[in-house]
Amino acid sequence: MTMHPVESSMIAAVGWDNVSGLVVRFKSGNQEYQYSGVPEHVFQELRSSASIGKFFKSSIQGKYESVKL
């Protein structure tokens, strides 16, 4: 999976594929989490959002099952 660096105060990079879903690398502790079931269009909206952190909190966090990698 290709991780794409993003401009955000809380998120360093994001990646997506059909198998893994969404992977988010946070700046805090350089931790990565996998979010299952996130559709590709939500990933694209996340990447193009004016505020990636706000979009993540409102549209992904708590809405999809996650596991720490």
Task: Encode the chain (69 residues) as per-residue pLDDT tens digits.
Answer: 899 999 999 999 999 999 999 999 999 887 999 999 999 999 999 999 999 999 999 999 999 999 999
Per-residue pLDDT at 60: 98
CA distances to 27, 33, 52, 54, 56 from 61, rounded to whole Å, are 16, 11, 12, 10, 6
Cα 62 to Cα 48: distance, rounded to the nearest angstrom? 20
pTM of the model: 0.93
